[in-house]
Each structure stands twice: as C-alpha cells, then as structure tokens.
C-alpha cells in the first residue's frame, strides 16, 4: 500500500478520518501535529500563522516518518501549498493525497468547538485559507467534501483506493 496524506485546513477532519482509516486499513497513522517543534506550537498558540520556513523542518520530519513505513501509512497533515506536497512527494514517491475541502465558516465553527483541546487557534483560519493552494489539478488526489459523515468519507477513500489498485 502506498502512503496517503489526509490534507486540508485546520478543522477539516484530517485526524478523525485518519484514525478511522488506520483502523479499517490496518495501517499506522502519523499525526502531523505531534511533529511540530515547540517554537511552531508556541506561535500557533499565540495566534501567529506559520510561514514557509517554520513548516520546512516540520515537513522534513514528516517525510522521514513516511519513509519509516515502507508498507504504507496515513499522514494527517495540512499540506496547504503545492511546494509542501512536493516536499512530501520527494520523501515518499507515489504518495497519494485526500483533500478534505471545507468552507472558512465551517472550519472556524469546528475550531471554536475544540478550542480548549488543541493549540491551533480559530483566529488562524483566515491565514490557512490564504496559504491554501487546492490540489485540484495534481495527480493522485481525491477531493472530498469534509462535511460528509465519517462513514461516507471512509467508504469513498476505500473505493478510490480500490480503483487505483486495478
């Protein structure tokens, strides 16, 4: 199995879908947020958006983690820009992406619900959408409406993977 990145803005459900797919596909889940250096976490807690330089080392660490699983893994990672996705692709050739598309309003609503449990502040939603370069014309990408029920998202990913295996 090739590794898959579950991507999109904060609050789109990357981690939730990742946990379910990891269970169904019996693959490890790499939670991208766990690999942010403390300086990145401090910036986000303070409501300061990360820049490309902040993300470079984080993406390198995630690429290293992907290589640790030659039989495939799932990675929950925003991967907002094409350059970030290309950095991950260079680390793990053949990498696939599931883009969980969400409106700014829904992202903000979801982040406000989890505000006490997560370091990412809802006021950073605008910066996420400003940085976002949707992967719509890139190969190996499945785009899904992030507001679909978890069971439907899971089934759509599994169905997509089955068509790719043929």
Q: What count of other Cβ atoms lies within 10 Å of the Cβ of residue 116? A: 5
Residue 120: its pLDDT value, please?
54
pLDDT of residue 122: 55
pLDDT classification of 162: cutoffs 50, 70, 90: very high
Backbone angles phi, psi at 57, to 5 degrees: -65, -35
**What is the architecture, at CATH level 2, of domain 4-164?**
3-Layer(aba) Sandwich (3.40)
What is the secondary structure of 1-17 as a DSSP string? ---EEEE-STTSSHHHH
List the strands of the sheet with 29-31, edge to edge.
Answer: 29-31, 74-76, 4-7, 96-101, 141-145
Percent of the chain with pLDDT over 90: 67
Q: So what's the pLDDT on residue 121?
A: 53
10-46 confidence digits (pLDDT tens): 889 999 999 999 999 999 999 998 898 888 888 877 7
Residues contacting residue 149 through CB under 8 Å, at least 6 positions apart: none
Whole-number pLDDT of residue 166: 60
pLDDT in tens, 122-154: 567 888 899 999 999 999 999 999 999 999 999
Out of 20-24, 92-96, 98-102, 162-166, pick the least confident: 162-166
End-to-end CA distance of the chain: 13
d(CA 142, CA 119): 28
Residue pair 164/112 in contact by the 8 Å Cβ criterion: no
Residue extents of the structural domains in the chain = 4-164
**Helix, strand, or coil (residue 22):** helix
The more confidently predicted of residues 118 and 50 is: 50
- Residue 40 is predicted with a pLDDT of 80
What band does 68 get if pLDDT is binned at 50, 70 and 90? very high
- Given this model, what pLDDT does residue 69 score? 95
């Amino acid at each position: 199995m090739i590794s898959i990145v579950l991507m999109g803005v904060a609050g789109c459900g990357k981690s939730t879908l990742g946990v379910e797919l990891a269970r169904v596909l019996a693959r490890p889940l790499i939670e991208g947020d766990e690999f942010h250096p403390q300086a990145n976490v401090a910036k986000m807690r303070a409501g300061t958006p990360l820049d490309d330089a902040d993300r470079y080392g984080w993406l390198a660490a995630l690429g290293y983690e992907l290589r640790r699983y030659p039989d495939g893994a799932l990675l929950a990672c925003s991967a907002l820009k094409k350059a970030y996705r290309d950095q991950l692709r260079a680390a793990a050739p053949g990498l696939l992406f599931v883009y969980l598309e969400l409106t700014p309003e829904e992202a903000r609503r979801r982040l406000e619900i989890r505000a006490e449990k997560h370091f990412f502040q809802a006021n950073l939603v605008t910066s996420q959408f400003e940085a976002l370069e949707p992967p719509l014309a890139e190969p190996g990408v499945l785009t899904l409406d992030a507001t679909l029920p978890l069971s439907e998202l899971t089934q759509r990913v599994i169905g997509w993977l089955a068509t790719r295996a043929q």
